[in-house]
Amino acid sequence: MTRKPGVALAKQDPNQLTAVIIEDDKRIHVTWEVDDGNWQPDYPFGDPVFSAPPDIAMDRQNDDQLTAAAGGKNGQLYVAWVEKNGTWHGPDPQGTAGVLPPNGAPVALGKLRDGQVAAVAIGHDKRMCVAWETEDGWQGPVPFGDAVFSEGSPVGIARQSWTNQATALAVGEDGRMWFALEPAKGSSSWDGPYAFGDNNTLAVGSGVAVKERNDKKLTALAVGQDGRMYYTWETDNKTWQKPVVAFGHEKQFPTNAGVAAENQSPQQLTAVAIGNDGKMYYAWQVGDDPWQGPVALGGALFEPGSGIGLAWQNEKQLTAMAMGKDGHLYVAWETNNGPWQGPKRI
């Protein structure tokens, strides 16, 4: 069976966690929980503008607005948004059609230094491309760099607070990791992408999770061609280290698996993914120590490699969510660094 599309999780309010996903009806569905209560049944909104459901991204555009984005029909970027606790709007076509793959593509959303939101994806021409929101609406997507990717490959993005600059990463067709940097002040062009690491290490089409650590470090994870999880890092805006094995045995994860990561504590980074056996796995790294895990949660509830989301639900609880092979959303969580619970169907 085909992997299920990824879930995007984000805080809509201090006491509300919201999740969005593109389901088989080709529409965006939304669900949420308030004050650690029950998750609400997901409901669709907007038109069926997506082809094969891609992974979706979501981020805060400003203090009052949550924005979601994905590549839809005709190579078009589609954007949906909600203000405060109002009604979701869209998804509306934004920017130039035909830049993204015609059957849709996953998109990464991240904040730029001036407070704008940028959407980064791999276009149909196998180049990284970026769209951004301004007072005059969305601009782009604009391709940049060389054609080194497989069209529609996943992208990860995070901002380096110490340089006030966003970094995007994706796996190239050569099996290396490639990174690009938000334009420097006074420039309109993204810098890169640049490759690092050994050829044929990472899996083309693997999800990429990238997260800022608290010690001027960015860490990124992706599945290797051997089915193990690899990680790479850069510190203080210096050279990226070549990807090395983080955790897992050979063929534990599908080569197109989604991966999500979040800081579980100031010293601990936690990653989640769905294995080849259909189980949800989590692993963690404390400081610069070796990665621990992966540890399976529950039974074989998921299609192998399905997309997954991970976010803070409150100050003490980390929550992971993925769609099960039965078409229902499942949630797992841990509180106060205690044992993980779930996955539980919502």
| Partners of residue 332 on adjacent β-strands | 320
Paired tokens of 113:
């230094």
- Which tens digits make up the pLDDT trace of 299-345? 999 999 999 999 999 888 999 999 999 999 999 999 988 999 999 99
Task: For residue 1, tell me if it sits in a domain.
Answer: no
Paired tokens of 12:
């809509």
- Which tens digits make up the pLDDT trace of 57-69? 999 888 889 999 9
- Which tens digits make up the pLDDT trace of 242-290? 999 999 999 999 999 999 999 988 889 999 999 999 999 999 999 999 9
Quote the pLDDT of residue 105.
92
Rounded CA Rg of the chain? 18
Calpha distance 100→76 (Å, rounded): 6
Beta-sheet pairing, 65-73 with 103-105 = antiparallel
Task: For residue 202, tell me if it sits in a domain.
Answer: yes
**Average pLDDT in the 164-176 region?**
95
State how many domains the chain has: 1
Task: For residue 194, tell me if it sits in a domain.
Answer: yes
336: left (phi over 0), alpha (psi -120 to 50) or beta: left
Distances (CA, A) of 49 to 18, 102, 241: 21, 11, 39
Angle (CA) 256 260 261, round 5° = 140
Q: How confident is the model at residue 197 (pLDDT cuts 50, 70, 90)?
A: very high
Task: For residue 95, tell me if it sits in a domain.
Answer: yes
> What percent of the chain clears pLDDT 70, i.e. is strictly above it?
98
Q: How confident is the model at residue 83 (pLDDT cuts 50, 70, 90)?
A: very high
How far apart are the two ends of the chain, measured CA to CA in Å? 22
Contacts of 243 (CB under 8 A, 6+ apart): 177, 197, 198, 201, 202, 222, 224, 230, 231, 232
DSSP per-residue codes, 105-137? E--EEEE-TTS-EEEEEE-TTSSEEEEEEETTE
Burial class for 25, CB neighbours closer than 10 Å (0-12, 13-18, 19+): exposed
Quote the pLDDT of residue 64.
87
Amino acid at 93: P
Quote the pLDDT of residue 163.
74
Quote the pLDDT of residue 329.
98
Task: For residue 2, tell me if it sits in a domain.
Answer: no
In the block, tokens 């409150």 appear at 314
Residue 61's domain comprises 8-345
Quote the pLDDT of residue 185.
66
CATH number of the structural domain spanning residue 99: 2.120.10.70
- Which tens digits make up the pLDDT trace of 202-236? 999 999 999 998 778 999 999 999 999 999 999 98
**315, HSE (Cβ side, Cα atoms, 13 Å):** 1
